[in-house]
């Protein structure tokens, strides 16, 4: 059987999602009989323009060069999968889209902002090209990526559950940090996939997996208010890593509005 030709590409990102894959390098090696990595610079394979069966994309589109590159990449990839919050929803860099002048931020960070070439906003990959599968998380969960690779190698569409972190907590019998400890947990509106990593260790979820399929942000906003969070604090819960993801963006902006 022909091996699946796979590439991994970086756009505007911190590389954390690629590192999440490399953290399980033994798993990468075990794939060798089914998968050929054609481009994965962090693993030492460099051929970014090669046609592939599956292209994994990390990072958002933030520069004119990236807009051109993602369109070219799409032509060369039979299946395109986004990995992580940046690629799937725009990530933390999309926060600048909420500013009237994002360039002020650039000037605050870079000593010579005139040399930084940026699009007017940072967006998810799906803003520019069709995406076949979106995997969330900051970083993405490597088990989800490897599971997707296995499925695609077998010609099966990968599962991508849309239930909430709460559902995972219930399945794993985690103590609910919202009910038991009054923590402002985003689990009720956040997509599962991480194994409820934060609540499992007694910490509130901050929504790195983005919105679940059923989001009742009004109820969660009221719950956060009952815990003593003010409008700004509630807005920050939603306008974080996945600030540009539809239901989170709406809830965050609504929380900021004066009543």
Which residues of this protein are in contact with ligand SF4, per CB under 6 A?
13-14, 16-17, 58-59, 84-86, 91-92, 138-139, 165, 190, 194, 196-199, 205-209
Least distance in angstroms from the C-beta of 149 to ligand SF4: 17
Q: Which residues pair with 7 in a beta bridge?
A: 39, 55
Cα of 228 vs its chain's centroid, Å: 29
* Closer Cβ to ligand SF4, 209 or 248, answer by number: 209
Least distance in angstroms from the C-beta of 2 to ligand SF4: 30
Least distance in angstroms from the C-beta of 259 to ligand SF4: 28
Structure token pair of residue 122: 């940072």
The tokens 């689990």 sit on which residue? Answer: 187
Cα of 159 vs its chain's centroid, Å: 16
Give the count of beta carbons closer than 10 Å to the beta carbon of residue 158: 18
> 94 and 243 in contact (C-beta within 8 Å)?
yes
Tell me the torsion sign for CA atoms 193, 213, 7, 20.
negative
* Closer Cβ to ligand SF4, 36 or 105, answer by number: 105
Residue 59 DSSP symbol = S
User: E strands along 121-188, which residues?
Assistant: 133-135
Residue 244 DSSP symbol = T
* Closer Cβ to ligand SF4, 158 or 210, answer by number: 210
Least distance in angstroms from the C-beta of 101 to ligand SF4: 23
Q: Which residue is nearest to ligand SF4 (CB)?
A: 16
HEC states along 177-190? HHHHHCCCCCHHHE
Least distance in angstroms from the C-beta of 257 to ligand SF4: 25
Least distance in angstroms from the C-beta of 200 to ligand SF4: 8
* Closer Cβ to ligand SF4, 91 or 252, answer by number: 91
* Closer Cβ to ligand SF4, 36 or 119, answer by number: 119
* Closer Cβ to ligand SF4, 54 or 198, answer by number: 198
């Amino acid at each position: 059987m022909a091996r699946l030709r796979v590439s991994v590409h970086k756009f505007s990102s911190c590389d954390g999602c690629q590192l999440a894959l490399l953290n399980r390098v033994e798993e990468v090696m075990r794939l060798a009989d089914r998968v050929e990595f054609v481009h994965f610079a962090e693993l030492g394979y460099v051929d970014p323009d090669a046609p592939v069966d599956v292209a994994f994309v990390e990072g958002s589109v933030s520069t004119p060069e990236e807009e051109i590159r993602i369109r070219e990449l799409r032509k060369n990839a039979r299946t395109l999968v986004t990995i992580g919050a940046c690629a799937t929803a725009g990530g933390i860099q999309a926060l600048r889209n909420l500013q009237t002048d994002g360039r002020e931020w650039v000037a605050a960070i870079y000593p010579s902002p005139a040399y930084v070439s940026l699009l007017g906003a940072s967006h998810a990959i799906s803003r520019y090209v069709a995406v076949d599968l979106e995997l969330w998380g900051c970083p993405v969960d490597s088990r989800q990526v490897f599971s997707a690779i296995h499925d695609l190698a077998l010609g099966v569409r990968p599962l991508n559950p849309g239930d909430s972190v709460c559902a995972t907590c219930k399945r794993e019998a985690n103590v609910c940090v919202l009910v038991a400890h009054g923590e402002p947990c985003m689990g009720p509106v956040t997509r599962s996939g991480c194994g409820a990593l934060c609540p499992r260790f007694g910490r509130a979820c901050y929504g790195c997996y983005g919105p679940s399929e059923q989001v009742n942000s009004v109820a969660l906003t009221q719950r956060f208010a009952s815990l003593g969070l003010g409008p700004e604090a509630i807005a920050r819960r939603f306008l974080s890593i996945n600030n540009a993801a539809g239901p989170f963006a709406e809830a965050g902006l609504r929380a900021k509005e004066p009543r």
